[in-house]
Structure 1
Amino acid sequence: MEKNKGKITKTKREEQLLEQIKNLYIGFRKNYIKMYYNKGMAKAKYHRPTWALHDNQILAHIRQKETIGIFAGQIFSKFICFDVDSPELKLSKHTTKALVVLLNHDYNISLDDIHVSFSGKKGYHVEIFLDEFIESNKMEHFYFDVLNNLGKLSEKVEIELRPLHTVGLKLPLSIHKQTNKYCHFVDNQTLRKKTDSENYFLSIEPMSKYYFEIEVLPDSKKINQVQFLNDDEKIESKKIINNINYKIDIESETKAILLVLKNKHLLYPNSRHNFCFKASIFLKEQGHDIAGTIGIMTDVLENTFKHHREMIDKSTTQEFALSELARIVKNTYDKNYIWGQTSKEIKIYKDELKEVLNINTNGKSLHLKKLALSTLIQSKRYASQNGIFYMPYSTMTKMGNTGSRGRLLQYLLYLEEIGFLEVVSRNEQTEGTYKKKANRYKVNISQEDGDEFIVLDLNSLEKYDFKDYIVALFTIDEAKEILTKSQFYDLGLAKLYKL
């Protein structure tokens, strides 16, 4: 009779929590675990029901009638959990805080993407959720690398990888059967209890899988040993490490993005999500604001739907694709995703800087030299194989040039006139719309190697001032010879060379 009662009625809040648990945690339903505890037992235990995980079991967990856990798939997973446990809560807290700091500082993971919950007894779950499935062996690789970098732990502390295909993970937001304590979320720095765990849980946005793969996962070639694991674990971790090589070539990715932007439509089937994420980082780094980035990428998607519909899954509507685009772009800007550690090395050579410094015209030469150097750096960083790159005015200003669009246009026109810069397209209107595309340029000077150069830190380009390049590559006599007297002193070079 019980089976014929029909669907269980859910409140709006329960429906929201159910969907968020499914979205963040559930990727494998064939098996799950239930927690149970009876008086006289030394500790709570788990058993596996013989049936698959159903939404009703998740709902019972949300209502705190059951406490369930889930497994990872054999090949893919949606998230990673570092299960921190010890006999002493104080020791678990200390280890959890250290782990969060390591993930944030050493792996460049935003604190917004690190979620910590109390296990219900004397431990914590530190979790990172992804917006797409990822190979489980990559998560194992990441786990071993993190533990290696965390250093030797107290013998009383364990940090276990969860979920596995063979070992489950208890979900949060229910009751630990032995302690009768609620498994709540905590602040990931202080570990203080969140005032409303359910609202916090509903606010979680998963991290981009593409960013995780590009910027977070360690390079397998750089890992030589796992210092503190036992012999069996060392062997297992090295197997995982040695069999993975998945780093993405950022230079080729950038060229692929430029090609899509040039053609104004997706070039490969089922590449929409990939393009949206990577192009949003690319355009953000070039200085576009959120609205500008969404506008440029909207043109690509709309044109794809109109003229190349076969490139996007039939079940995906244009309305859904554009709403997803807005979400992805906002997330990229909110969490400040960057290419960072995998970007190609950029060098500015002495002969290149000499050519920049030789640019001269009445009254504006210093401003022109600064802008010319900015375009050279942008070209080295983003130009496609044919030397063409995008550069909005906002990027020029961010790199230390004037904020006046009118003056920037004058300087660009002069650089074009003397042949330093070629303007490939300016104020070009996107077909069928009133929208303008970003201008495209090409630097027309020989970019040859030499013995004297400066290597740029791509994560801190804003810290470089024009004079820094001069002092780094020229002696004081060379600088005086190539610059006018007023330029030399206006830049404060006399004081810098004395230092």
Structure 2
Amino acid sequence: MYQRQIDLSSYPVPCPVCGEQLVCINATHARKHGHETLSDFLKTHGIDYKTLLQRSRKKLTQLYNIDRKSWVVGYETAVGSIEYARQTYYTDYRAARDKGIKSATPYPLTNTMLHNHLNGSAPLAIFASGPSSSYFGFDVDSKELAASHTLKLVDSLEALGIPRQYVHVSFSGSKGYHIDLLIDGKMSFEKWNDIGEYVVEVAGLTDESIEFRPGRKNGQAYKLPLTLHPKTGNFAGFCDNRTLESYDIVRSHNYLFDIEKMPQGLLFPLLARSRQWKREQVEAKKRPPSRAARPVIEPQEMAVAVTSANLLWSAEDKRDKVERWCNVAFDGVGTRYNAMKHIAIYLWHEQGIEDEDELVACLVEINDREYTAGRVRTPSHECVNEYRAFARWVINETDGFYVRERELMITQAEIQWVLGVTDIKARDMLWALLLSSKAFPSKSGWFYRTSDALQKMLSKPRKICRETIAVKRRWLTERGYIETTAAASKREFYVNHIKQHRPMRYRLLFDHPEHSVVLKTVFYDHEMDCRNLLCEIAATLLPVSELKLLKLTA
């Protein structure tokens, strides 16, 4: 049956303190919590609403950067018939009407209009305020195939690195769906649409009826959720983004309230890939047609090389350690086994020998030399299997424990990913972990890093304390930037990380580009603060406009 309006005043809102369902949070309820007045109760607990209608209106305003000077509103012309009209706010309303501007209105978009949208009497479609937007929507209107196409887009977004928890699907009220991305910053319309086109390409839906809101010129309005469809009367609520099960009115409003904005940095790797794909499309159109098959050119990221990345100890410390090994290696009977194991570690992790056979050959050569000198009593042909076992142990079991001398490649996408972190201290820690992940690589992606080592990297001019490291580790984990082996309890932490002297293990949840073009080489060692290195690399890889937007300073 066609609905003309939703009476939201009859729907309950849960008290955020005790969870009791209330039509309106009132003074009687405030007194139950020991407060004399309602205003004192609301202020104490940071509550800025009393009804479900107020809560959803405030949340919509928070999530969507709505242009209150221009919008589209639906008004009823007959039962079951609504027409949409654009409204534009003019301070000099009479002059605008005299010029024949039919859309002119003397009032900006008000809270009452948002209330009318939520109760279904006057649905709203919005424009983004300013030259950028904190939201982006895929408008899927493929009729019978809309559900299938929507799920393909959601799956593609997840495959491209956007966690499903940040992909919000709502029913249009007819046959289509909307897919919303809501970020904690703003992004230009051009960048949003580059991402949208790439996602549609990956999903294989380039020939389907999928539109973007906002478009490149922000010329088309985007219908807000949680209203009634003007023709069908169906409720345009949120859906499960795996099954497209439609939520009812209360569940949809609660879903809206629980939405958290996506960290903008999660979009930067996807933006870099989408722009690389766009450049390839342009280059492909410029190339003359040819019957001969052309080689596939892998996308390349701009990068900066970092040399002398002594993240664990200085060059002097390493030299002293190697000399100590050599001096005590063959100083008596029975020392060959331990000496050759230490030498295998040194050759693999610090000399850059990355092939098992080459490592075994080096150990055999050393054994031959020491056997000839009389310091080893076992000939090398009797030790080959033992040395091969050493090599496999070093390669498979110690990867991630030791630093390996190499150039570290930092790409533009990685810099944008780090700088997308809004919390400054969490950003600094993620940057230190990114450098560590490259100095301590392993095939699984896991690496070890102690709090002391992170403090050394973040010590100039201001040192990050151990408590802050623990807090920001949780912050980064909860927002999908890293994984850790953090213990579930203090006792478990004591057993695993203190009693057994196990440092914390980390893994970054980011797909590092495989191909890069080095624009510059910079120097870094253990005496420098890695925050200065971040500023130097960012200034090389990012345009000035983006640096200003990120407010990055050394």
Calculate the TM-score normalised by the size of structure 1.
Answer: 0.49
Calculate the TM-score normalised by the size of structure 2.
Answer: 0.44
Greater length-normalized contact order (CA 8 Å, ≥ 6 residues apart): 2
Q: Which has the larger radius of gyration?
A: 2
